[in-house]
């Protein structure tokens, strides 16, 4: 297609779009265009619009600056009621003006435009502007990640009805506003909501996403955030208490009752928000898993109640001589094993208890074992080789995440080499290599019920897998940028993802669709944690900011004061859900009063007195000795375990 | 953000493009081509760096490394940069000149044959896990694995503005005291602060710790003392106890100088050493207590009961080294510490009546000595010598003639102690001066010239200098390090043996001896030029005190102090208390507490309050008198 005929083709396409047949025919005749060219009319909407608008403004790059300045003045002078909502419009208009200037080869104007108005944009957009500022040629728009996101998607802005009518009136009155009208038509989705205009704080609470706020309709679906009924609870108490009787001293009758109360208080009341147990098929528990669950329950009965007055003890595991090489870690549910993934593709597993790590016997020897024997599991294991640390070799790139399965028989790891690997902790070998991600895999997590796991990566997708399938069961697509972290909901029905596009999304495992999109983070999200009750999700970002979201509404429940000064890479809820702990690269661990955070009534009502209360959220901060915190884990008894690497100043 | 160019990035210049083009053999690159290239390369580089940032973040780092760039290249389907492996971030060097600025990476030329012949590098240490308590029930224990609860800056701020401590919210302050919710709530509900007082409460644990440490430091158990000193030198959470520690030391020195208790003075100086070595303490606040104590131990007229026998020289040397360390660490332009300390020592060399008035053991000896005692001179010389050869040159060298006269007079006179002291002083002077003189004078060393210039010490100095000149290895000594080396069973004899000394040798073998070891080897010393570890072995006898007392009448204690004092005695008939040099001072409280004689073999302090008791070890059947300083109660 020649350069000159492109505008003509665009006009033709426009005529066809509006079904103006006769005009189209006349134009075709006049321009003597062949059928072939006309058939292949499939210019993207965006390009079409930009080609057509070009005829107004192509010749005059100064209109952009004038128009933007005019819009800014109009917003500044409008009533406070509308001001803050309208100001969210400025950033997308600014970005698209810049891209249009680049598109029409007014590079120098574009640069001066960016330098003049770029500084005025919100601080959380500065990072993006820096990324965008490297685009200085129209050919570069195509390949650039961020520029493509902007030019192929619509930026969503929420305005109240009054504010949007004010805007309309302004745009009609102004002569040189056609540029803005075009941009708004092509690149901005204005969602009008009834009700008063929002305040500055309200606007700020949800602003920050790469493409603005989510549409209200996107968060309407009901989310079953309740917990599943524990299926094995009726089976289990008997064997559990049998074991307990062996260990415990005479005062156990009381304890037994208390424990029963504890365990049955929550469960029999079926949660109205809980999904049906068979909503997604869950694996049956094996006998050995039941024993493990029993242990967990017994431990849970000895749990310490935490609160502002009783803070947890923290045991810090320092990885010595690791420097920058240790990059991921996980502690298994019963806190007996520690796995660390390294920069050099290696994975190390340490035992944290005196029980040594044992391998399984070789196949020939296994055949000799009496399979009916009661202690067959013990006999399977090698007696001789016992270690406190074992290596797992197989990856060919940095291991970005390691994860123990709930029953501590398997380990998952994901790496820069685009694979996810499943390892056996009995024979200490790799069992499966899951290929599917095309680019580095950033995160992988087990379902709390085992069997399923989810991974996310640089290819902007999150995937749901089952251990017995080599292909993913679901692929969740929607993020505009890398999916940096992933987390399973405690009821295994949902997956939450956090991304570089500064949104947290919730996906339904059953349907594969997105059910929540939550904006408000001002930086890349690196870690997510579901509350114990399943209703809240906490997220931590690269700027050291933390937010807590309410899954029932999809809105932010609280934005915690920015206490950390470096990226947060670890979040953990205490087992009773009262304390949230966060660990960051600034070498601190902070404890937050989660009861206070969620006690706040929804954000709209308490917004005015929210700011002074924020101080109360932070319970305490513990500094480590130049050891960035890379992992946090609450034991079943509510002892906090933290993992970090000692980085000497040299 | 103010600079717009910084805000939105820079780009490669045309010049660099041309230089790079030349380096690959393209001699003439047009301006247009260079500009196109520069723009494109800039863009591509920035995209790669942006992608590399993602890898950096997911590696949980905050510094970009070469591997990140490699991975970013890899996802763009580009070949990695081979051969640029560097575990840490690249250190950029900066150079400028001729109006040009240049950032570059230092690349050293490597000799391959050297690498091949070199022994293989050590295998790097394997990663290991180490666990410690970061917090116990919400309180951060002050163990070395945790950062110090109060940073030095905070301690400094507190010393400047004590109220700042109060304004801090208490629940953020995790410095060793458990803060229960109740107290926090009380604090929150309290709205009226009548008067704010900066309190220094110690928790029960801290009180116990203080008691244990002080007892161990001055006790008889050498292993416990080592542990206690180690704790003082390494534990991060001591700042709250620091005022008490310093008072303990300064009071202890005051009392034990009076008592002439050499052993305890040495223990106290070792405590000072340990505190100096502790990295987490802000000691500036307490220098006013420490410096007088240390200088007392350097220049005091008498530090031990038998000056002719005990090796108090070692204590003087050790304290002088401490003083040098203090000066090096804490000297600032505002406090002029080194100048003041130097002046103090220099005065001792110049004005005979200045330094001996504070700590003289008795009235009688004070009247006798119009001149500075030789021991004090020795201390002053040693103190100055530790401060460096320049100080020696300016302050000691001009006084050599006068010092020589003193030495000469004492050596020719009678009295074993004086002769010993003079010998020591002479030896010390020679050792200190020789390297300095060697630097100052030209090789032909004529004894006559030396005699003319330096008086009595001239010939010996000449010998020492020529000896140094002949042995090349000594050229680095610099005259600042005093070396008094004794092998363990050796007696505290001065380098120049005297007949009186030998006569005592046989005696000391019969009495119970105790070995003290002053070791200056600590893991981390803030002063970089701490001399190599030396051992001083001091033999102190337990029965000796009675002999001394016989001279001044049995059972009489003469206390000379300007401090209110309580004297506890067991078999003492009378107590004489004299006031300090300023006559007619404030009224003094004197208490005489009679205590039943105890046959207490151990060293346990007898005291009802958790305050140090400086007790001499009761080795013999008749314990020597005890003198307890309880002045803080008065």
Of A133, A321, A327, the CB nearest to B60: A327
Taking only the tens place, the pLDDT of each residue in A482-494 is 999 999 999 899 9
Q: Which residue has the higher pLDDT, B611 or A618?
A: A618
Report the pLDDT value the prediction gives residue B166, as an integer from 0 to 100: 54
Cβ contact A620–B171 (<8 Å): yes
A352 contacts on B by Cβ (under 8 Å): 129, 131
Whether chain A has a CB inside 8 Å of the CB on B57: the answer is: yes
Closest CA–CA distance from residue B60 to any residue of chain A (Å): 6
- Number of DSSP helices (H) and strands (E) in chain A, helices first: 22, 31
A143 contacts on B by Cβ (under 8 Å): 47
Taking only the tens place, the pLDDT of each residue in B84-120 is 766 666 677 788 777 777 777 777 777 888 888 888 8
Report the pLDDT value the prediction gives residue B624, as an integer from 0 to 100: 38
Cβ contact B87–A324 (<8 Å): yes
A642 contacts on B by Cβ (under 8 Å): 134
B60 contacts on A by Cβ (under 8 Å): 327-328, 567, 569, 585, 628, 630
Report the pLDDT value the prediction gives residue A239, as an integer from 0 to 100: 43
pLDDT of residue A403 exceeding 90, the answer is: yes
* Residue-range domains of chain B with CATH: 10-85 (1.10.20.10), 204-329 (1.25.40.770)
Angstrom distance (rounded) from CA A375 to CA A371 = 9
Contacts with B482 (C-beta within 8 Å, 6 or more apart), sequence order: B317, B320, B321, B382, B385, B386, B428, B431, B432
Element (H, E) at A111: helix A107-117
Low-confidence ranges of chain B (pLDDT < 50): 1-6, 168-191, 193, 351, 353-369, 474-634
pTM reported for the whole predicted model: 0.67
Report the pLDDT value the prediction gives residue A443, as an integer from 0 to 100: 94
Taking only the tens place, the pLDDT of each residue in A118-148 is 888 888 888 888 888 888 888 888 888 888 8
Cβ contact B129–A338 (<8 Å): yes
* Residue-range domains of chain A with CATH: 2-55 (no CATH), 60-213 (1.25.40.500), 314-367+376-602+613-643 (2.130.10.10)
| Tokens linked to B128 | 């290991």
Residue of A nearest to B180 (CA): A309
| Tokens linked to B318 | 């050790």
Angstrom distance (rounded) from CA B382 to CA B401 = 17
Report the pLDDT value the prediction gives residue A497, as an integer from 0 to 100: 95
Cβ contact A439–B127 (<8 Å): no
Whether chain B has a CB inside 8 Å of the CB on A144: the answer is: yes
Closest CA–CA distance from residue A624 to any residue of chain B (Å): 6
Angstrom distance (rounded) from CA A322 to CA A631 = 15
Taking only the tens place, the pLDDT of each residue in A238-256 is 444 444 444 434 443 444 4
Of A140, A308, A624, the CB nearest to B147: A624
Angstrom distance (rounded) from CA A534 to CA A84 = 33
Taking only the tens place, the pLDDT of each residue in A53-103 is 555 555 577 888 888 888 888 888 888 888 888 888 889 999 988 888 888
Report the pLDDT value the prediction gives residue A46, as an integer from 0 to 100: 63
- The separation between CA A636 and the C-alpha centre of its own chain, rounded to angstroms, equals 25
Q: Give the confidence band of A471 by pLDDT, cuts at 50, 70, 90.
A: very high
Closest CA–CA distance from residue A321 to any residue of chain B (Å): 5
Nearest residue to A631 (alpha-carbon basis) of A363, A403, A306: A403
Mean pLDDT of the residues in chain A = 82
Report the pLDDT value the prediction gives residue A36, as an integer from 0 to 100: 61
B55 contacts on A by Cβ (under 8 Å): 398, 416, 440
Nearest residue to A86 (alpha-carbon basis) of A74, A75, A77, A94: A75
Taking only the tens place, the pLDDT of each residue in B60-86 is 988 888 888 989 998 888 888 877 766
Taking only the tens place, the pLDDT of each residue in A359-383 is 887 778 877 777 777 777 777 777 7
Report the pLDDT value the prediction gives residue A341, as an integer from 0 to 100: 94
Q: 3-class DSSP state for residue B370?
A: coil
Name the DSSP class of B102.
E
Angstrom distance (rounded) from CA B47 to CA A406 = 40
Closest CA–CA distance from residue A13 to any residue of chain B (Å): 34
Q: Give the confidence band of A47 by pLDDT, cuts at 50, 70, 90.
A: low
Cβ contact B128–A321 (<8 Å): yes
pLDDT of residue A331 exceeding 80, the answer is: yes
Residues 355-374 of A with CB under 8 A from B: none
Closest CA–CA distance from residue B67 to any residue of chain A (Å): 9
Q: What's the mean pLDDT in A510-520?
A: 90
């Amino acid at each position: 297609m020649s350069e000159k005929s492109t505008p003509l083709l665009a006009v033709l396409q426009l005529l066809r779009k509006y079904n103006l047949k006769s005009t189209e025919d006349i134009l075709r005749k006049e321009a003597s265009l062949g059928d072939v060219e006309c058939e292949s009319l499939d210019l993207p909407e965006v390009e079409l619009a930009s080609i057509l608008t070009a005829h107004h403004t192509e010749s005059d790059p100064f209109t952009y600056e004038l128009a933007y300045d005019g819009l800014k003045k109009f917003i500044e002078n409008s009533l406070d009621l509308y001001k803050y909502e309208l100001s969210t419009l400025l950033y997308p208009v600014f970005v698209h003006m810049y891209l249009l200037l680049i598109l029409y080869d007014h590079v120098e104007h574009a640069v001066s435009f960016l330098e003049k108005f770029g500084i005025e944009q919100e601080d959380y957009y500065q990072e993006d502007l820096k990324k965008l500022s490297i685009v200085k040629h129209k050919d570069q728009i195509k390949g650039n990640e961020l520029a493509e996101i902007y030019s192929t998607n619509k930026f969503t802005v929420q305005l109240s009805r009054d504010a949007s009518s004010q805007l309309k009136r302004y745009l009609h009155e102004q002569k040189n506003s056609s540029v803005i009208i075009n941009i708004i038509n092509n690149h901005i989705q204005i969602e009008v909501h009834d009700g008063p205009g929002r305040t500055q704080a309200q606007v700020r609470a949800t602003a920050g996403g790469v493409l603005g706020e989510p549409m209200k309709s996107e968060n309407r679906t009901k989310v079953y955030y309740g917990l599943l009924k524990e299926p094995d609870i009726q089976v289990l108490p008997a064997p559990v208490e049998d074991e307990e009787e062996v260990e415990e001293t005479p005062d156990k009758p009381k304890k037994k009752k208390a424990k029963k109360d504890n365990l049955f208080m929550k469960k029999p009341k079926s949660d109205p928000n809980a999904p049906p147990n068979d909503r997604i098929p869950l694996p049956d528990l094996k006998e050995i898993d039941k024993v493990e669950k029993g242990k967990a329950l017994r431990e849970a009965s000895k749990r310490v109640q935490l609160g502002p007055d009783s803070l947890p003890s923290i045991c810090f595991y320092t990885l010595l001589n690791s420097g920058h090489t240790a990059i991921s870690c996980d502690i298994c549910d019963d806190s007996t094993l520690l796995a660390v993934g390294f920069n050099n593709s290696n994975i190390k597993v340490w035992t944290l208890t005196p029980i040594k790590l044992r391998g399984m016997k070789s196949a020939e020897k296994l055949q000799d074992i009496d399979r009916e024997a009661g202690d067959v599991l013990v006999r399977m294991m090698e007696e001789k080789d016992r270690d406190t640390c074992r290596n797992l070799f197989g990856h060919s790139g940095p291991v970005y995440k390691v994860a123990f399965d709930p029953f501590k028989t398997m380990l998952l790891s994901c790496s820069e080499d685009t694979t996810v690997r499943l390892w056996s902790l009995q024979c200490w070998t790799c069992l499966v290599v899951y290929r599917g991600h095309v680019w580095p895999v950033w995160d992988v997590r087990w379902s709390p019920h085992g069997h399923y796991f989810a991974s996310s990566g640089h290819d902007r997708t999150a995937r749901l897998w089952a251990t017995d399938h080599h292909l993913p069961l679901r692929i969740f697509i929607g993020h505009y940028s890398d999916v940096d972290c992933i987390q399973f909901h405690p009821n295994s029905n949902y997956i939450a993802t956090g991304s570089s596009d500064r949104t947290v999304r919730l996906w339904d495992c059953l349907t594969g669709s997105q059910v929540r999109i939550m904006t408000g983070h001002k930086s890349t999200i690196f870690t997510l944690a579901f509350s114990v009750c399943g209703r809240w999700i906490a997220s931590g970002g690269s700027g050291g900011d933390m937010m807590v979201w309410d899954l029932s509404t999809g809105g932010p429940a609280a934005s915690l004061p920015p206490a950390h000064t470096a990226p947060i890479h670890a979040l953990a809820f205490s087992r009773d859900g009262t304390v949230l702990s966060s660990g960051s690269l600034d070498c601190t661990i902070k404890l937050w009063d989660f009861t206070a955070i969620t006690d706040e009534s929804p954000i709209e009502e308490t917004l005015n007195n929210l700011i002074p209360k924020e101080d109360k959220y932070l319970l305490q901060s513990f500094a480590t000795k130049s050891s960035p915190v890379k992992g946090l884990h609450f034991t079943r008894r509510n002892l906090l375990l933290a993992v970090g690497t000692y980085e000497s100043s040299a | 953000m103010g600079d717009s160019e910084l805000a939105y990035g820079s780009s490669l210049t045309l010049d660099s493009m041309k230089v790079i083009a030349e380096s690959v053999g393209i001699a003439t690159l047009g301006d247009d081509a260079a500009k196109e290239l520069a723009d494109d390369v800039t863009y591509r580089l920035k995209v790669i760096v942006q992608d590399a940032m993602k890898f950096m973040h997911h590696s949980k780092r905050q510094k970009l490394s070469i591997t990140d760039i490699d991975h970013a290249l890899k996802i763009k389907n580009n070949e990695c940069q081979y051969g640029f492996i560097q575990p840490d971030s690249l250190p950029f060097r900066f150079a400028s000149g001729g109006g040009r600025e240049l950032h570059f990476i230092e690349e050293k030329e490597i000799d391959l044959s050297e690498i091949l012949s070199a022994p293989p590098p050590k295998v790097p240490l394997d990663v290991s896990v180490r666990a410690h308590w970061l917090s116990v029930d919400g309180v951060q224990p002050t163990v070395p694995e945790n950062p110090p609860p109060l940073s030095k800056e905070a301690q400094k701020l507190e010393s400047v503005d004590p109220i700042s401590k109060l304004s801090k919210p208490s629940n953020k302050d995790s410095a060793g005291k458990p803060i229960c919710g109740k107290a926090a709530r009380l604090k929150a509900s309290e709205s009226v602060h009548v008067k704010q007082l900066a309190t220094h409460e110690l928790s029960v644990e801290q009180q116990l710790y203080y008691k244990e440490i002080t007892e161990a430091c001055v006790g008889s158990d050498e292993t416990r003392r080592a542990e206690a000193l180690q704790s003082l030198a390494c534990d991060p959470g001591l700042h709250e106890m620091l005022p008490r520690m310093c008072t303990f030391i300064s009071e202890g020195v005051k009392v034990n100088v009076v008592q002439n208790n050499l052993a305890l003075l040495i223990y106290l100086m070792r405590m000072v050493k340990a505190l100096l070595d502790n990295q987490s303490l802000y000691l500036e606040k307490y220098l006013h207590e420490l410096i007088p104590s240390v200088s007392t131990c350097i220049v005091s007229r008498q530090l031990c009961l038998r000056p002719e026998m005990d090796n108090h020289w070692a204590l003087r040397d050790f304290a002088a080294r401490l003083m040098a360390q203090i000066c090096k660490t804490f000297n600032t332009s505002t406090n002029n510490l080194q100048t003041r300390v130097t002046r103090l020592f220099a005065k001792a060399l110049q004005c005979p009546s200045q330094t001996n008035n504070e700590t003289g053991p008795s009235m009688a000896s004070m009247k006798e000595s119009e001149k500075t005692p030789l021991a004090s001179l020795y201390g002053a010389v040693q103190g100055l010598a530790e401060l460096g050869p320049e100080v020696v040159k300016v302050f000691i060298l001009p006084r050599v003639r006068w010092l020589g006269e003193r030495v000469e007079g004492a050596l020719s006179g009678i009295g074993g102690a004086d002769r010993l002291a003079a010998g020591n002083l002479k030896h010390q002077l020679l050792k200190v001066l020789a390297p300095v003189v060697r630097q100052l004078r030209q090789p032909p060393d004529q004894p006559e010239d030396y005699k003319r210039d330096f008086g009595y010490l001239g010939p010996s100095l000449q010998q020492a200098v020529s000896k140094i000149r002949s042995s090349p290895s000594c050229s680095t000594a610099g005259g600042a390090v005093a070396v008094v080396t004794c092998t363990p069973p050796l007696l505290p004899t001065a380098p120049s043996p005297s007949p009186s000394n030998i006569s005592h040798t046989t005696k000391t073998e019969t009495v119970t001896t105790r070995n003290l070891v002053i070791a200056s080897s600590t893991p981390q010393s803030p002063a970089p030029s701490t001399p190599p570890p030396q051992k001083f072995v001091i033999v102190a006898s337990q029965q000796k005190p009675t002999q001394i007392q016989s001279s001044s009448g049995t059972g009489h204690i003469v206390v000379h102090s300007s401090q209110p004092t309580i004297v506890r005695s067991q078999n003492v008939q009378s107590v004489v208390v004299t006031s300090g040099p300023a006559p007619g001072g404030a009224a003094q409280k004197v208490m005489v507490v009679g205590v039943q004689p105890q046959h207490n073999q151990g060293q346990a302090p007898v005291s009802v309050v958790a305050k140090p008791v400086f007790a001499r070890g009761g080795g013999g059947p008749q314990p020597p008198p005890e003198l307890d300083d309880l002045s803080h109660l008065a």
